[in-house]
Amino acid sequence: MKRKENFIKPYGDLPNDGMVQISFSLPLPLSNLSREAAKAIAREMNIVDEVIVFEKDLYENFSFFIIYGKFNKSIDISKIIAKEERIEKHDFYEVLKFGENVLKNKIKIIAATIGTDAHTVGLDSIINAKGYKGDPGLERYPFFEILNLGAQIPHEFLISKIHEFKPNVVLISQTVTQRNIHLKNLTYLVELLEAENIRDKVLLICGGFRITKELAHELGYDMGFGSDTYPADVAYYIINEFINKNLVNKWR
Amino acid sequence: MEKGRLFLEEKEVVNAKSIAERISKKVFDEIKDFSTTSIERGILRLLDVSGVNDDRVPIVNLFVDKLKKENLLSKGVLFILSNGLLKYPSLSSSQFVDAVLKDEIKLNGIEFFEKESVLKKVKELIQEAKEKILNKKRERERYLENYSPMEKPYFYVIVATGNIFEDAKQAASAGYLGADYIAIIRSTAQSLLDYVPYGLTTEGYGGTYATQENFRYVREKLDEVSFNIKKYVKLVNYSSGLCMPEISVLASIERLDLMVNDALYGILFRNINPLRTMIDQKFSRYILSLAGIPIVTGEDNLIKTVDSFEFYYTVIVSQLINEQLAKLSKMSENLIGLGHAFELDPNLENGFLYEVAQAQLVRELFPNSPIKYMPPTRYKTGNIFISYAMDTLFNIVSVLTNQEIVLLGMLTEALHTPFIQDRYLAIENAKYIRNNLKSISKEFLIRNGGLIEKRAKEVFKKAIEKLEEIENIGLFAALEEGYFSNVKRPKYEGRGFDGVFKKDKDYIEFEI
């Protein structure tokens, strides 16, 4: 039986008013035609009673609209399949103590931003001793031995460094770029690792603003960390997997 | 706020600048005997040598490679070309280069004329090149005279679609909406290419390539907009990376209006060889100065990877050195746009006051510089509403402290390269603050002994201490030891070192 409380709509000011705001530009000059087109787009999104609250001509063939309207459907939350809630949070000292208790060997980590990606902010905040928002980086854990290659590392160079350094963990950072180039960069690395028969020797992790655990799995990575990741999250995951996957013997 | 509001000691400012001058002179001493492949290619481009072969390799690269192979590179292209043209007076520079590449003229055993006639020919070539640059400069001056004046602070926005045709449309929109400077972002990897790509391009990562044809295409589009709105809209690109000199030349020829130019950035964040890029920068700044194109430097990057409060002084150190390096390249102060940024942690108590302190310090230290002020980026998240609020504070500091060229923050900074409407919203915000706070800097004084003054003085003191340390060991050693952004860059390592060569006794400088 359908239960009424399972059906939800966006809430603006009153229950079930369905109020939403959207904004977008159209490749049309500002005119009655583009206004109607903008409203039609809203209606196609199941937004009714749509009102253009703001519009602006952006020169030549572009116009910008802000629209408020009511979402005219309801969502049955009993039918929604949601992923488990995010992993439990640990702070630096807990993870440090945990690592010191369970680890007998140092964990070797190689880190890089690959391809043409020049961003290092994400990687630096996870790796550098300074860390991120008060949570120290991986360099502060005495049981990690880290080789941070930095930004714009060609795939082939990374592979040669992996052969040399024989890491247990490969940490790849990719920031948002256009046209999904970051995804191609990431999958290409997996292909190379497989071709070189070293994919199974390492724990392969990627991180970056738009990266999720699900996306990482899809691309052939063991784990993915997105925004709102703290160094301690990564450290905790690495220690657990190092033991679970018995990574210590892989290069022998 | 006007100059002198921070109660800085004049003699300390003079002292800081003279330390920076000594550091810079030492750098120039160390590089004076060298040129680079990219400088030689730049000179060729000034002499109308352009185009690519069937494999899309630029002719200038082919010719310089040929000189290298024939052991003639150390004489420089001006010397070789002049001798060639004396021998074959009916050929143009470009025709001579073509004939050499087709092996119709052999360089092996080429005859060298007496010094006097060679020098005379070189002067002719240089004069011709300079005239071309000066014509473009005059063209810009005419536009600026005929259109309505721009209002300070100037708004600088970026366009980065990765496709030059879309870039041009969005640049036009931004200009129409009120942007004064529009930078077309180039492909991320371009700084590492040792050649300038050719033609109109529709690909690249995070932007599309800087090419001569792309420069021309967007400049033409902006000329159209400028005509429609009766205000000259300026075009910006990046004179950095391995092709810094060539890009500077192309910018001069295609009437670009502002160039981002900072060797230090290339060294630290692109691992470009320190010697290579310092030599390239000297030439580039000389060319840009001739063209009347101001540079802007990239000090904002120094505080993006380290604690921005603790290390803000490195911005001041780099600015002081950059100013002196530019002056030694014959740039006047009004062409030296030093960079800095609003990048303190938004959770910092009184962070706004410290931002005011830092921005005012930069303004007072470099009163004639068209300072480039960069917006918050590193602490931005997907919360576009807070992001917009942060940009508002940034805009307030810009107006309050009389910054000159203000790079407008984007509400979607943490999400993607700007959408067309993001740029519109940024310009609206900045216009609102510029107009609403018009005369604010004349109405408020900085309190003597207050938080703002203390912060500025503390930063300046730290900067002078660091400058003194750098003077003791030299700039190259400081780079090796990680003085900036914790990055260590050895003098003889890094990309592009193989393009550095020692000039021999026949070499004739372009800068005469």
Residue A85 falls inside a structural domain: no
> How, if at all, do strands A63-71 and A47-57 pair?
antiparallel
Q: Are residue B199 and residue B340 in the same domain, yes or no?
A: yes
Distance (Å) of CA A95 to CA A167, A172, A230:
21, 21, 12
What local confidence, expressed as pLDDT, does residue A152 receive? 78
Q: Are residue A157 and residue A104 in the same domain, yes or no?
A: yes
Q: Which two tokens stand for residue A144?
A: 């990690």
Contact A62 B169 (CB under 8 A): yes
Contact A219, A206 (CB under 8 A): yes
Give the pLDDT band of residue A36 (cuts 50, 70, 90): very high
Q: Is the pLDDT reported for residue B1 higher than 50?
A: no
What local confidence, expressed as pLDDT, does residue A85 receive? 64
Give the tens place of pLDDT for each residue, A106-140: 999 999 988 766 666 678 788 887 777 778 889 88
What local confidence, expressed as pLDDT, does residue B487 receive? 79
Contact A118 B270 (CB under 8 A): yes
Domain boundary among B451, B476, B505: B451
Q: Are residue A230 and residue A165 in the same domain, yes or no?
A: yes
Q: Are residue A244 and residue A199 in the same domain, yes or no?
A: yes
How many other CB atoms are there within 10 angstroms of residue B271's CB atom? 18
Domain that holds residue A56: 4-79
- What distance in Å separates the CA atoms of residue A70 and residue A32, rounded to the nearest whole number? 22
Task: Indicate the number of domains in chain B.
Answer: 2
Q: Is the pLDDT reported for residue B56 higher than 90?
A: yes
- What distance in Å separates the CA atoms of residue B79 and residue B300, rounded to the nearest whole number? 40
Judged by DSSP in three states, B22 sits in: helix
The closest of B4, B26, B34, B35 to B324, measured between CA atoms, is B26
Q: Which two tokens stand for residue A207?
A: 């991180």
Of A96-100, B138-142, B405-409, minimum mean pLDDT range: A96-100
Q: Are residue A170 and residue A244 in the same domain, yes or no?
A: yes
CATH of the domain at A106: 3.40.50.280
- What distance in Å separates the CA atoms of residue B226 and residue B143, rounded to the nearest whole number? 9
- Shortest alpha-carbon distance between residue A210 and chain B (Å): 9
Q: Are residue B159 and residue B210 in the same domain, yes or no?
A: yes
Contact B420 A150 (CB under 8 A): no
Q: Are residue B366 and residue B447 in the same domain, yes or no?
A: yes
Q: Which two tokens stand for residue B107?
A: 């360089």
Contacts of A177 in chain B (CB under 8 A): 188, 205-206
| Residues in CB range of B500: below 8 A, 6 or more apart | B34, B35, B36, B273, B275, B276, B279
Task: Indicate the number of domains in chain A.
Answer: 2
Distance (Å) of CA A172 to CA A110, A169, A241, B204, B467:
9, 10, 17, 21, 36
Q: Determine whether A130 is an active site residue.
A: yes
Of A170-179, B116-125, B228-237, B407-416, minimum mean pLDDT range: A170-179
- What distance in Å separates the CA atoms of residue A53 and residue A38, rounded to the nearest whole number? 12
Q: Are residue A126 and residue A40 in the same domain, yes or no?
A: no
Give the tens place of pLDDT for each residue, B102-115: 999 999 888 899 99
Domain that holds residue B59: 34-127
Complex ipTM more than 0.90, yes or no: no
Residue A25 falls inside a structural domain: yes
In the block, tokens 């703290």 appear at A230
Contacts of A179 in chain B (CB under 8 A): 162
Q: Are residue B382 and residue B432 in the same domain, yes or no?
A: yes
Q: Are residue B118 and residue B183 in the same domain, yes or no?
A: no
Residue A13 falls inside a structural domain: yes
What local confidence, expressed as pLDDT, does residue A87 receive? 60
Residue ranges in B414-450 assigned as alpha helix (H): 420-436, 440-443
Q: Are residue B123 and residue B169 in the same domain, yes or no?
A: no
Q: Are residue B305 and residue B412 in the same domain, yes or no?
A: yes
Q: Are residue A54 and residue A99 in the same domain, yes or no?
A: no
Which residue among A39, A130, A161, A184 is the active-site one? A130
- What distance in Å separates the CA atoms of residue B136 and residue B256, rounded to the nearest whole number? 9
Mean pLDDT of B13-30: 98
What local confidence, expressed as pLDDT, does residue A174 receive? 85
Please state, for a pLDDT cut of 70, what percent of chain A lies above it.
Answer: 92
Contact B133, B290 (CB under 8 A): yes
Give the tens place of pLDDT for each residue, A200-210: 999 999 998 78
Phi-psi region of B433 (alpha: psi -120 to 50; beta: other; left: phi over 0): alpha
Give the tens place of pLDDT for each residue, A42-74: 999 999 999 999 999 999 899 999 999 999 999
Q: Are residue A176 and residue A113 in the same domain, yes or no?
A: yes
Q: Are residue A30 and residue A70 in the same domain, yes or no?
A: yes
Choose among B304, B420, B486: nearest Cβ to A58: B420
Q: Are residue B87 and residue B176 in the same domain, yes or no?
A: no
Q: Are residue B256 and residue B336 in the same domain, yes or no?
A: yes
Q: Are residue B322 and residue B417 in the same domain, yes or no?
A: yes
Give the tens place of pLDDT for each residue, A131-176: 777 788 898 899 999 998 887 788 988 999 999 999 999 999 887 5
Q: Are residue B276 and residue B402 in the same domain, yes or no?
A: yes
Which residue among B231, B234, B327, B372 is the active-site one? B372
Domain boundary among A51, A79, A107: A79
The closest of B77, B80, B35 to B60, measured between CA atoms, is B77
Give the tens place of pLDDT for each residue, B248-259: 999 999 999 999
Judged by DSSP in three states, A47 sits in: strand
What local confidence, expressed as pLDDT, does residue A178 receive? 54
Contacts of B160 in chain A (CB under 8 A): 178
What local confidence, expressed as pLDDT, does residue A209 receive? 79
